[in-house]
Structure 1
């Protein structure tokens, strides 16, 4: 299975790896919120946080692939959104108290 590392903004595929080549780290790079910094032989560089993971199967070929979307900003992950909401709640509590 191919693993695509894509930009979260626009979905442009930046790096493609075979899952066997990265099997030792696959459980880490598929966890939302994980910080990743990826280089490959073509000197491609991808840095940011895992914001979404999508498993897809091509209808025509039956080929399966995993798309991992990387955002440069932590706030686009679920953890980041939760932290933003908690900060807003804390601010409201301080205003009321």
Structure 2
């Protein structure tokens, strides 16, 4: 089982609005687990929550903006990974060509 923290505890610790957290969940930016009618966020998602809260409360970015920024950052990360794989394939191909000569 993943380490997790209850949503009520998150609200208390991070001092964020319950409605803000609910909206993040509705937009599927966070994925709560439910156990005995208590909703939890897994620890792995806490960095995302912290980032979203900073964007919203410190930078005054609204929820649609947070959703767009998050999606673009994920796309950027995917492109970086894809580029890394392509460069590895090119490197393998170049090494293979050198072996053929």
Q: Normalising TM by the smaller chain, what interval?
A: 0.3 to 0.5
Which structure features the higher share of helix residues? 2
Which has the larger Rg? 2
TM-score between the two structures when normalised by the length of structure 1: 0.37
**Larger relative contact order (C-alpha < 8 A, sep ≥ 6)?**
1
